[in-house]
Chain A
Amino acid sequence: MPLLETRDLTKTFGHVTAADRINVSIAEREVIGVIGANGAGKTTFVNMVTGYLKPSAGSILYQGEDITALTPRQVTRRGICRSFQVPQVFMSISLFDNLLVALAAAEQVHPNFWRPLRQRHLLDAAQEIVARYDLGAYRDQQVALLPQGVRKLLDIAMAMAHRPRVILLDEPTSGVSVQEKFGIMEVVMGALRETGVTVLFIEHDMEIIERFGSRVMAFVEGSILADGPPSHVLADEQVRRHVIGEELHRSRRSERGASHA
């Protein structure tokens, strides 16, 4: 039985079809890269799976259970978490407190109203996350003052606080400088690998897709054009035309250059 499955998942906004009968089957421990032009339906897919958008048709199954009608809150509790294209974090409190709150929420199905938030085990767990994601320098700063890259990491770390079985990362390296991109992905993937979580990450950078994904899904205008190992999908004629364009040529050329050196 697949861990996460969608059947004919469809979403229309009036005349616009954002998702067109998407059929996807994800197994445990897979690391899947999702590519596609802007507006191809990638984020809509994530929004539907996590319950933020109600599909127009189709269903979503998680561990065999139909979760199509669940709210984001319920989906999170089942074990599916996500990060956001624009980091959704709590701006007015410190980075550490963001993590603390996320951990407490994960642990307490109904938030405590008498026992303090700052308990030893939660403080330790938050500190551990700070260390794992290398955020020590920013620990006590107000998030509003932190750079975008740090907020991205925080966003992902908060999603991981729930120890989900599936995590959906929406453009984890967008808005981040070219030098930092690989660094961030290394940190994130390293942390994720430790937990054995199933990962689906949306990316525009093909090098990162090739480096970290064991499987690639290419979205085009609401449907999945290709789905398979990176070598196949990224070489696919249609995918190259609709999604990749010239970029693959350039990266191939640099690879050839590097192997000759």
Chain B
Amino acid sequence: MMATLLSLLRWLGALAAMALLGWLVPEWAAFLLTLALAKGLVVLGLLILWRTGLVSFGQALFFGFGGYAVGLLGGYAGLSDMVLLTALATVGAGLLAALVGLLLARYRDIFFAMLSMAFSMILYGILVKTELLGSTDGFNVVQPTFLGYAPQGDTLRVMIYLWTVLLCVGAAYGVQRYLESTMGQLAPAIRDNELRVEYLGVSVVRIIYVKVIIAGALAGAGGAITAFAVGHIDPDAMTYWTVSGEFVFVTILSGTGSIAAPFLGSILFELIRTYATQYSPYTWQMVLGSSLLLIILFLPNGLWSLFDRLRRPARPGL
């Protein structure tokens, strides 16, 4: 009883702290944080897949779907409520993942990665060639309202930020419960020995299918938020394979040791990106690439493992 109360307090504390942060920091930082947290949602989904030994190079499929769902529903269906649109985008992305997952869940390793990438490029191809969907220019996204209330300027940005924080903390909580559940704890088992898991009476394909759906829904939510925050969507920014590559990069950067890692890693990524591109826009990718290499070579469990190591001493037999 005490444990759950303490845990609840910790979650509420995190929520409050994040919310407060949005009020305290300057406007540009709040925008950055919103984008970073949205990206964090996508990476959270990748974390779930990574623990099972799978890497998706195509999360941009769901990310883009979420963004375009918001853009299209806002533009053509006249909807503007942020809560409603995020929900629709998330559910829609989840359904898309349920469709795509029927195939994807049967593959592993390189083939899983390649197939996911192929699917995301299909969406890219469709969007680029379809005038009705804005083609390569994309289009602007409707300004969000909140349950009837239509904020402007700074208030709008803060509200978007707060909604993002709420979503992220909620998603993190949900994913945490999932990771501690039987299904979540079967992930390293699947990664180690799929055959044995089958012999335990468990369907591996079904579990991976569920993970694909969760990751897809999370990415869709991230895409929806990004669409609102940026106010504009286009295929290159939302569905191109390099976008998926960025998500994977942040996954490696953060490490998969904790559900906070994706968000902290994303924030760090956005900070670095802002300063690196300001300093020299033509060395940004070099910085990215070099960091990725260094992390793979020297810190394979991501930056979180460093943080973890600082927090407590190494335990024998672990």
A207 at the interface (CB under 8 A from B): no
- With both beta carbons as reference points, the residue of chain B lying nearest to A140 in the complex is identified as B317
Which B226-285 residues sit within 8 Å CB-CB of chain A?
none
Residue of A73, A76, A89, A106 with highest tally of chain B CB at under 10 A: A73
Give Cα A225 to B181, complex, Å. Answer: 49
Task: Check B188–A90 contact: CB distance below 8 A.
Answer: yes
- With both beta carbons as reference points, the residue of chain B lying nearest to A141 in the complex is identified as B317
Task: Check B192–A71 contact: CB distance below 8 A.
Answer: no
Residue of B186, B191, B192, B193 touching A111 (CB-CB under 8 A)? B186
B199 at the interface (CB under 8 A from A): yes
Distance from A16 Cβ to chain B, minimum over Cβ atoms (Å): 23
Task: Check B181–A117 contact: CB distance below 8 A.
Answer: yes
Residue of B178, B181, B193, B318 touching A89 (CB-CB under 8 A)? B193
Chain A binding surface SS class: loop
Chain B binding surface SS class: helix
Give Cα A115 to B180, complex, Å. Answer: 8
B152 at the interface (CB under 8 A from A): no
Residue of A82, A93, A108 touching B199 (CB-CB under 8 A)? A82
> Which A residues are in CB contact (< 8 Å) with B178?
113-114
Which B86-140 residues sit within 8 Å CB-CB of chain A?
none
Residue of A71, A115, A158, A159 touching B198 (CB-CB under 8 A)? A71
Task: Check B182–A111 contact: CB distance below 8 A.
Answer: yes
Which A97-153 residues sit within 8 Å CB-CB of chain B?
97, 100-102, 104-106, 108-109, 111-118, 140-142
Task: Check B200–A106 contact: CB distance below 8 A.
Answer: yes
A88 at the interface (CB under 8 A from B): yes
Task: Check A88–B182 contact: CB distance below 8 A.
Answer: no
Interface size counted on chain B using CB atoms at 8 A: 27
A189 at the interface (CB under 8 A from B): no
Task: Check B183–A88 contact: CB distance below 8 A.
Answer: no
B291 at the interface (CB under 8 A from A): no
Residue of B195, B200, B202 touching A158 (CB-CB under 8 A)? B200
Give Cα A100 to B184, complex, Å. Answer: 13
Bits for B171-213, please: 1 = Cβ < 8 Å to A, else 0. 0000001101111111011011101111111110001001000
Q: What range describes how many residues of A lie at the interface?
A: 35 or more
Give Cα A104 to B199, complex, Å. Answer: 13
Give Cα A76 to B317, complex, Å. Answer: 32
Give Cα A58 to B181, complex, Å. Answer: 41
Q: Which 4 A-B pairs have the closest CB atoms?
A: A105-B200, A76-B201, A111-B182, A88-B196
A56 at the interface (CB under 8 A from B): no
> Which A residues are in CB contact (< 8 Å) with B197?
105
- With both beta carbons as reference points, the residue of chain B lying nearest to A71 in the complex is identified as B198
Which A229-246 residues sit within 8 Å CB-CB of chain B?
none
Bits for A73-102, please: 1 = Cβ < 8 Å to B, else 0. 100110001100000111111000100111
Task: Check A90–B193 contact: CB distance below 8 A.
Answer: yes
Give Cα A105 to B181, complex, Å. Answer: 11
Given contacts A92-B192, A93-B189, contact A72 B198 (CB under 8 A): yes
Task: Check A92–B191 contact: CB distance below 8 A.
Answer: yes
Residue of A109, A113, A116, A158 with highest tally of chain B CB at under 10 A: A113
A215 at the interface (CB under 8 A from B): no
Task: Check A108–B182 contact: CB distance below 8 A.
Answer: yes
Task: Check A112–B198 contact: CB distance below 8 A.
Answer: no
Given contacts A104-B182, A141-B317, contact A162 B201 (CB under 8 A): yes
Task: Check B183–A112 contact: CB distance below 8 A.
Answer: yes
Q: A72-B199, A101-B186 are in contact. List 17 more A-B contacts (CB 8 A).
A: A73-B202, A76-B199, A82-B199, A88-B195, A89-B196, A90-B196, A92-B192, A93-B192, A101-B200, A102-B200, A104-B182, A104-B185, A105-B197, A114-B177, A115-B181, A115-B182, A116-B180
A68 at the interface (CB under 8 A from B): no
> Which A residues are in CB contact (< 8 Å) with B184?
113, 117
A223 at the interface (CB under 8 A from B): no
Give Cα A90 to B191, complex, Å. Answer: 9
Residue of B180, B200, B207, B318 touching A76 (CB-CB under 8 A)? B200
Task: Check A117–B182 contact: CB distance below 8 A.
Answer: yes
Distance from A84 Cβ to chain B, minimum over Cβ atoms (Å): 8
Given contacts A91-B192, A105-B201, contact A142 B186 (CB under 8 A): no
Give Cα A73 to B140, complex, Å. Answer: 51
Residue of A104, A106, A158, A162 with highest tally of chain B CB at under 10 A: A104
A50 at the interface (CB under 8 A from B): yes
> Which A residues are in CB contact (< 8 Å) with B177?
114, 116
> Which A residues are in CB contact (< 8 Å) with B195?
72, 88
